[in-house]
Structure 1
Amino acid sequence: MSIAQNPLSVEVTLPREDVALIVVEGYLDIDTATEFRHHLANQLHHGRKHFVIDLSGVPFMDSSGMNIVLRIYQEVREISGSVQIVSPTPAVRRVLDLTGVSITVPVSESLDAALERVDASPQ
């Protein structure tokens, strides 16, 4: 599937100075993973160390998307940061569970729950 058929939309807001909320919509796959990675890298560059990734608008995610989530998780751990996944669609949640990503990267059902986890993480 081409990018034109399944464009990726990534919206970044800052609920707090060091927290980036990344709302992703569309297919997160090999065709769109680089764009997603650029958004995360930009926020890391600007000093964000906590990433809350809302996947409620992602009907499909392949290993490219999972690898980027795991890569940013590893990068922010080095600076005492965190990554939280929020509201994955059932199909994405199944992939996260089957691959074990959800064991490494916490999954929350709401933004508030994810922000509570950020507050509880070691600073």
Structure 2
Amino acid sequence: MGLLLSVRPGRGCTVLEVHGELDMATSPQLRKGLQRLVDAGDRQVVVDLAGVGFMDSSGLGVLVAMFKALRAADGRLCLAAVQPSVRSVLAVTSVDRAITVYDDVPAAEADAPAADGATGR
């Protein structure tokens, strides 16, 4: 199954909706999508994982790398609507201690810092 990415403006952030499986075959597509946002100046990014039922270590690696890239640019990457199978991967690897995970996108939007770093596409 391929990966579908869609970008939409959020409240004080940009939301990247992800649908499909995050694995070795699709992780490069996620990296490119997130990198495009960073290159466009987005600094507050919420990754909506409601449509992701599976994620392996390559998907995890992309999220961690882009979290670090945004943090280095004084930005923020967080995750929202994470399915139980993906949440367990985040917990087992302790990634959920570094990257904030929200129950849903509105909760992530409500916690976004001032809109200075968001383009709100």
TM-score, shorter chain, exceeding 0.5: yes
Q: How far, CA to CA, are the matches of 2:31 and 2:84 in structure 1? A: 23
Amino acid at match of 2:8: T
Among 12, 15, 21, the residue aligned to 2:15 = 21
Aligned counterpart, 2:109: 115
Alignment of structure 1 residues 1-123 onto 2, 5 Å: 6-15=1-10, 19-119=13-113
Amino acid at match of 1:81: G
Aligned counterpart, 1:3: none
Q: How far, CA to CA, are the matches of 1:63 and 1:118 in structure 2? A: 27
Amino acid at match of 2:56: D
- Equivalent pairs counted in the alignment come to 115
Amino acid at match of 2:77: V
Q: Which one scores higher on RCO, CA 8 angstroms, separation ≥ 6?
A: 2
Q: How far, CA to CA, are the matches of 1:48 and 1:103 in structure 2? A: 23
Calculate the aligned-residue CA RMSD, in Å: 1.5
Unaligned runs of 5+ in 1: 1-5
SS at match of 2:10: strand
- With normalisation by structure 2, the TM-score equals 0.89
